Structure 1
């Protein structure tokens, strides 16, 4: 029995759940799979990083497998995005080929070896996610608020924050709004650098 064979019940349930074409989120599907009627994911599956990663990975693996299967059969299209998952009928006169064969996300989730990702790797993935989520738009503005230029480091950020906080503190005659801006910028930079 292959790993794919053991995932058949999950894939079959997902196929039934998506059959009506109504859009749903990944979270909706995960919660649905936790319900006693389905009995596939434990009620605690989303509470710890390792089990949450495994539940997410198995769900995405099955969704990408279904997308591939339905495209091969030319029976349906499956949109998988961060916001929603939705099955669409295959267009009657479509010349559309298979889903993008160079889809790195699909390649990742279709490789079951990634299911064995260690706790440390999962923690690192989560840290990287939050750093990327916070970084792009805010970092340049936060550095400017602290009157810094990239590249910088944790020590320089801490020193500049203390200097500006002393200068702009309301108890020392500074503007409360400017002081709050400095504090907020420092807190965001602190999460990234310290």
Structure 2
């Protein structure tokens, strides 16, 4: 007898197969939103509002997409492109060599390993912080501290308080300078991941 998790994963995979098999192409976010709708009732309406629920919803969708990709390849039905910006069925003949999965696909390996679904909140926060650290413009701490009118060393609480004070002062909706507001926000975004 399959476990409740396995039944859910089978159901989500089948739902995604029916939706994407009809020719829909969309972003992963749209798939999660679609799975939240009452007609599917897979995820709760607040599934995107909490870090852990978002992580698990994303993981389940990606797991099922990779299962579906392999199913469709085995059936020679097509190639499922999977990215956060585009998910959709493509003809195998139209897929370039670099699109087709090779012997080693690290993302597929990660999402197909259900042990990762049990990742704890501290690890999820560390993953997100690492992501943002890599996405943010390279460090320019001296300029950023000057923009926020701070001197190192400082702590996260002081940084946040100073950002809020300056952002409130320079916010365009309150008659402030929009260019200065953007500089303050960018400096804060870069520095906040240092703590």
Q: Same fold (TM over 0.5)?
A: yes
The alignment partner of 2:153 has SS state of helix
Judging changes above 3 Å, is the alpha-carbon distance between structure 1 residues 180 and 123 closer, same or farther for their aligned structure 2 residues?
closer
Change (3 A) 1:120 1:14: same
Equivalent residue for 2:67, pick from 61, 65, 68? 65
Q: Among 82, 85, 94, which residue is 1:83 paired with? A: 85
Partner in structure 2 of residue 108 of structure 1: 110
Over residues 73-117 of structure 1, what are the superposed CA-to-partner deviations in whole Å (9 max), with x where a residue is unaligned?
Answer: 22110001121101112329x999962221101100000110000
Closer, same or farther: CA 186–37 of 1 in aligned 2, 3 Å: closer
Per the normalisation by structure 1, the TM-score is: 0.71
Contact 2:34 2:40 in 1 (8 A): yes
Name the CA shift for 1:192/1:20 in 2 (closer, same or farther; >3 Å).
same
Unaligned runs of 5+ in 2: 146-151, 159-176
Which residue matches 1:187? 188
Unaligned 5+ runs, structure 1: 148-153, 159-175
Instruction: Give the ranges of 4+ consecutive aligned residues of structure 1 lying more than 6 Å apart after TM superposition.
Output: 94-98, 179-182
Q: What is the root-mean-square deviation in Å for CA atoms of aligned residues?
A: 3.5
What SS does the corresponding residue of 2:93 show, helix, strand or coil?
Answer: coil
Residues 15/9 of structure 1: CA separation in 2 closer, same or farther (3 Å cut): same
